[in-house]
Amino acid sequence: MTTMTEQATQVYSVFIRATPEQVWDGITKPEFTTRYFYGTKIDSTFEPATPYLSVAADGGETLVDGEIIESDPPRILRHTWRSLFDDDTAAEPPSRVTWEIEPQEGGVTKLTVTHDQLEASPKTAAGVAGGWSYVLSGLKTLLETGEPLQG
Amino acid sequence: MKTDDDLVFRALADPTRRHLLDRLYERDGRTLTELESELEMTRFGVMKHLRLLEEAGLVVTRREGRQKLHYLNPVPIRLIHDRWIDKYRERQVSALANLKSELEETA
């Protein structure tokens, strides 16, 4: 069997039958994120150098914090990332997440998430490795069917 | 259509391609030259397999300087998982949650 080493750069990609604007809304509007992003509300103005927060929809606890680096709707969103839901990962330096949205032929949009600058954050790297697949699968299902994976 | 499960199953139906995914699972972001060095196969053969994996969405490439790096993308496998497995798992989870609240009520 192979073993997974923590990857300092992780790339995840999914094709979604939706417009780039719909995908952008799915990423940036709390009414969407609560339905596929571990029940968290996104909280950000998406202005560069302002906070990017992922807040538990029920308790208000901040689970992820970061800062917007770049926002160009509906093409690219880039922000820093710290996983606060675990003391070990919260102590690690911030990493970086880039969402890239590219229209394809036939009404399909390609969404690519690159989580990098994880060299000094191995616990965060291990923690998010399975999570991004779950999140992107959930976002695709929500945008294509109007129904979240859970519930 | 790139999102077709057919492409994923066809890509996974070959031991060499699964081996390539195993190599990327061990260490992501590799060049064709690195991957080729671990397989007894021509460069052309490895390229062909990588192209099928990329078409299926199982491998994503990124350019870094002059290098083309290959990354394992597990999302298509997750989609297959969620399609047939998740609803049973969720039912199980909610059944456990119901049991917990019932036990707590009677305690």
pLDDT 10s digits, B39-79: 888 999 999 999 999 999 999 999 989 999 999 999 999 99
Asked if the Cβ–Cβ distance from A137 to B1 is below 8 Å, we say no
Amino acid A52: pLDDT: 97
Asked if the Cβ–Cβ distance from A149 to B90 is below 8 Å, we say yes
Mean pLDDT by 10 residues, chain A (151 residues): 65 96 96 92 96 90 96 98 93 97 95 96 92 94 81 42
Q: In terms of CA atoms, which chain A residue is nearest residue B90?
A: A150
Q: If you compute the radius of gyration of chain A from its CA atoms, what whole number of angstroms results?
A: 15
Tokens 């990588």 appear where?
B50
- CATH code for residues A10-126+134-145: 3.30.530.20
Amino acid B105: pLDDT: 63
Is some CB atom of chain A closer than 8 A to the CB atom of B90? yes
Chain B residues whose beta carbon lies within 8 Å of the beta carbon of residue A151: 90
Instruction: Retrieve residue A133's tokens.
Output: 């697949």
Is some CB atom of chain A closer than 8 A to the CB atom of B22? yes
Spell out the domain ranges in chain B.
Answer: 5-73, 81-107
Adjacent-strand bridge partners of A144: none
Q: Alpha-carbon distance A126 to A124, whole Å?
A: 5
Q: Alpha-carbon distance A54 to A59, whole Å?
A: 12
Q: Alpha-carbon distance B92 to B79, whole Å?
A: 19
Q: In terms of CA atoms, which chain A residue is nearest residue B2?
A: A15
Q: Alpha-carbon distance A107 to B3, whole Å?
A: 12
Answer yes or no: is pLDDT of B104 > 70.
no
DSSP, residue by residue, A29-91: -HHHHTTTSTTEEEE----TTSEEEEEETTT--EEEEEEEEEEETTTEEEEEEEE-SSHHHHT
Is some CB atom of chain A closer than 8 A to the CB atom of B62? yes
For range B99-103, the mean pLDDT: 61
For B55, the 3-state DSSP assignment is helix
Asked if the Cβ–Cβ distance from B26 to A134 is below 8 Å, we say no
Q: Is 1.10.10.10 the CATH number for B5-73?
A: yes
Is some CB atom of chain A closer than 8 A to the CB atom of B28? yes
Instruction: Retrieve residue A110's tokens.
Output: 């390609």
pLDDT 10s digits, B70-89: 999 999 999 988 888 766 65
For A118, the 3-state DSSP assignment is coil
